[in-house]
Chains A and B, each alone.
Chain A
């Protein structure tokens, strides 16, 4: 069990937690945060799963994660702007079909 595998395992758990949150939480802000958590889990898995003990890490996953983080920030920022418009227009922070859920 190398530290890299430990990080990759934590990434899997984060990813699953994020997906569950994405589906089960009606509140859109929570959905956005859940998507972000799931994405972070993927990055953790990519970097942790490619970190052999004692050897230099593989630069390709590192570069992919580096660009992926910037894309995540961009997508989350766009989602938040969209949420703000939804709240402005409808006065609600849930989608119509989820309105009755807790």
Chain B
């Protein structure tokens, strides 16, 4: 690209973008008002879905395939980060603490230890709440992942990225897939739970997913280790 053309593109892009914003905002004002969407449908079938919270019912039952693919994407991202590890020149595992400041201040240790305990308790509470009010595997997994980031930043050593962590990351998606396959063998199709199973299955799957999401997020927080200085 010539530099004049390039400069024109750089100048034109914000203008083009402003135009697109104008068109979209105009379209937003002309949306047909008050579409009920699928909320009434979900409400009507909540009884059979095995969860009283409509969002959980959608995630774990009505659109379970989306959720399965979504945790697969998370797993794929964690595996991709494994693959980015430099060969040879790096530390074999991410064994260096990734905290920036001084590691051992008494205040930090006192505070983080209690905060981590609280985070685990709140995460358990969130998984449990998912069945009947806002909460569930994703919120709990994200909270645990955040707790892992906090622990890493306050000087805890990153987990060894060996077999136990990898199995933990795979556990949730594997359990979910297995549940789908069992449902398929029982005759109603992949992830279409037979009548009356959902109530028992969904909490168990949520726990498994929360654990795996937390492990994958922790691995993503660790990222790639720094190259070992020669």
Chain A residues within CB distance 8 Å of chain B: 5, 8-9, 12-13, 16-17, 19-20, 23-24, 49-50, 52-53, 55-64, 66-67, 69-71, 73-75, 77-78, 80-82, 84-85, 88
Contact = CB atoms under 8 A, between A and B. Distances in A.
Contact of A60 (B63, B81, B226): B63
Interface in B6-33: 10, 13-14, 17-18, 20-21, 24-25, 28-29, 31
28 contacts: A5-B29, A9-B25, A9-B28, A12-B21, A12-B28, A16-B17, A16-B18, A17-B17, A52-B34, A56-B43, A58-B36, A58-B37, A59-B39, A59-B55, A60-B38, A60-B58, A60-B62, A62-B58, A63-B55, A63-B66, A70-B213, A74-B77, A74-B216, A77-B81, A77-B217, A78-B84, A85-B86, A88-B226
Contacts of A82: 84
A8 B27 CA distance: 11
A75 B220 CA distance: 9
Contacts of B159: none
Interface of B: 10, 13-14, 17-18, 20-21, 24-25, 28-29, 31, 34-39, 42-43, 54-55, 57-59, 62-63, 66-67, 70, 73-74, 77-78, 80-81, 84, 86, 138-139, 141-142, 145, 213, 216-217, 220-221, 223-224, 226-227
Contacts of A73: 142, 145, 217, 220
A84 B224 contact: yes
A78 B78 CA distance: 8
Contacts of B29: 5
Nearest to B21: A16
A55 B34 contact: yes
